[in-house]
Chains A and B, each alone.
Chain A
Amino acid sequence: MSLATKAPPGHFSILYFASASSYTAKDTEHLPAPLPVSKLFDRLEEKYAGIKSRVLESCLLTVNLEYVDMPDDGSVGLVIKEGDEVAIIPPVSSG
């Protein structure tokens, strides 16, 4: 998150915490908007092979600091808009 720059036009920001950051080797990046949340994991899987089962499926997903559910009924669900801040938050269990 060292890079706290605003997303360029037509993009949203995505923050990777903990193991999501290790897996992508990034703290943050910008992806093209709009994007339905239901498509987000597939989009990330294309970029980072294996991330879905290794990281994303046990994560908390937030859009603009509020958490959202992955639609499980086949509907589109929430659509991520230009300028939104999405965060992928895996459980951290150590201490």
Chain B
Amino acid sequence: MESANASAAALRAKIAATEERLKLLKAQLANIEEKEAEEVEESPVTRKWPLLPDEYKRYGRQMIVPSVGIQGQLRLKDASVLIVGAGGLGCPSSAYLAGAGVGTIGIVDGDIVETSNLHRQILHNSSTVGMKKVDSIVSYLKSLNPHLKYITHPTHLTPQNAAEIVSQYELVLDCTDHPTSRYLISDTCILLQKPLVSASALRRDGQLIVLNSPPLPAGDAKGGPCYRCVFPKPPPTDSVVSCGDGGILGPVVGVMGVLQALEGIKLIVEGRLKEEQEVDGRGNTMLLFSASGSPQFRSLKMRARSSKCVACSGNAELTLEKLPGMDYAVFCGIASPIGILKPEERIEAKEYLELEQDSEKTHVLLDVREKVQFDICSLENSINIPSSSFQGTRSSSLQEGKPSWLPETVRADASIYVICRLGNDSQIVTQKLKEAGLDNNGKRAIKDIRGGLKAWKEQVNPSWPEY
């Protein structure tokens, strides 16, 4: 075993060194190619061609599409696009924009690549796990198209840095994953008069909207609506589901990112980035995708800007000066870690371990994850009743006295321990069980296992699969 470990370590070191050398060689090659390109450009005979020889070949297949043409290609070359989020949407959209020859591409993301990203974030790969997402994505894009300028912003977009970053670009793609960033990006785009292509995806559903197009100043009713016109009220914080919690199919977010790139390319080649361009109101639709739907795509007609909008209407009070002071977390409702139980209503995972061996049936372990997660891995003798089945006031999972899910063999005073993936839902269910009177006026203990199965892995069983 030891010698196997040693040779694995030696191999890893060798691979790392080879990759380092490869990077160096690629950089040298890029350097030479750049010089060559400059020389070609400087020669008087070739100066009349606006693109490099390689660019004619590279973009030929899209340039001969009548709606693109050489004019469209030159507009792409002149364009600058900011992609906010280098994840499931940002990967496919940036790849197609780079492939199409968008001259300047900026990427904002403060995260690092994780293994759980790889099934959908197609520009990252196993060897870039642990790297900054912006660096991983740009290393892919550079090898795809070395002719472009790539700018990385290794940070999250905040009300303090948004205006400074967004102002450097002509078009913005919202590829983020939270309501706070969606409102922030929309507001910033209104203030700086940038068109915005916003896409999102969860599980098997996706949404795509072109916003603030045409990008006219706030108060001009002919401008395109903003995110607040469409969704003036953010969803309740505790109902916001992330891809990490709700799940996401790779091709669903992939198709949304690809469509986002398409809308971006259309805006650029049609010359619709600037407000002075004549616009006929086309393209102002919201596209809904549902993998299980029939039809899978539905297109909704968008309306004009809302006269009540706090960001883009004539009554809007938003200004660039006020933006850094805006608190989007407060607007969307602060998602503080749930802590609704008293300390004595909770136990640690390692404390539960001692109870686990108990054969007297003096307790029940209730796992409140969704069944699909329970099926992946579960603790021995645990009962699965998903937290969603405790929703609503008439839930059958909350019958007083003895609900049907409690096994017959269990004693009436047997304690109930509630566990979930991370330890939030289990607290809510613990409280609901108590409110429903299942604790028999204190005769039965009902407790939450603090930190859920994540804590179980950390404190008790390191081999527990983390998904």
Contact = CB atoms under 8 A, between A and B. Distances in A.
Interface of A: 1-2, 4, 17-19, 21-23, 27, 48-50, 53-55, 57-58, 60, 62, 65-67, 87, 89-95
A50 B391 contact: yes
Nearest to A90: B235
Contact of B294 (A2, A55, A87, A92): A2
Given A1-B294, A18-B202, 19 more contacts: A1-B293, A17-B205, A17-B288, A18-B203, A19-B239, A21-B205, A49-B392, A49-B393, A50-B391, A62-B300, A65-B300, A66-B301, A87-B298, A91-B235, A92-B207, A94-B178, A94-B200, A94-B242, A95-B87
B240 interface: yes
B260 to A, nearest CB: 9
Contacts of B300: 60, 62, 65-67, 87, 89
Nearest to A93: B179
B196 to A, nearest CB: 14
8 contacts: A1-B294, A54-B239, A58-B235, A66-B300, A91-B230, A91-B231, A94-B177, A95-B177
Contact of B253 (A49, A58, A67, A95): A95
Nearest to B388: A22
A94 B202 contact: yes
B205 A94 contact: no
A17 to B, nearest CB: 6
Interface in B213-250: 230-231, 233-236, 239-243, 246, 248
Interface residues of B, number: 52
Contacts of B207: 89, 91-92
B292 A48 contact: no
A2 to B, nearest CB: 5
Contacts of A55: 235, 239
A48 B392 CA distance: 7
A93 B178 contact: yes
B175 A58 contact: no
- Lowest 7 A-B CB distances belong to which pairs? A1-B293, A49-B392, A92-B200, A95-B89, A58-B235, A4-B294, A91-B231
Chain A CB within 10 Å — which of B243, B294, B394 has the most?
A: B294
Nearest to B179: A93
Contacts of B202: 18, 92, 94
A93 B177 contact: yes
Contacts of B89: 95
B242 A49 contact: no
Nearest to A50: B392
B241 A95 contact: no
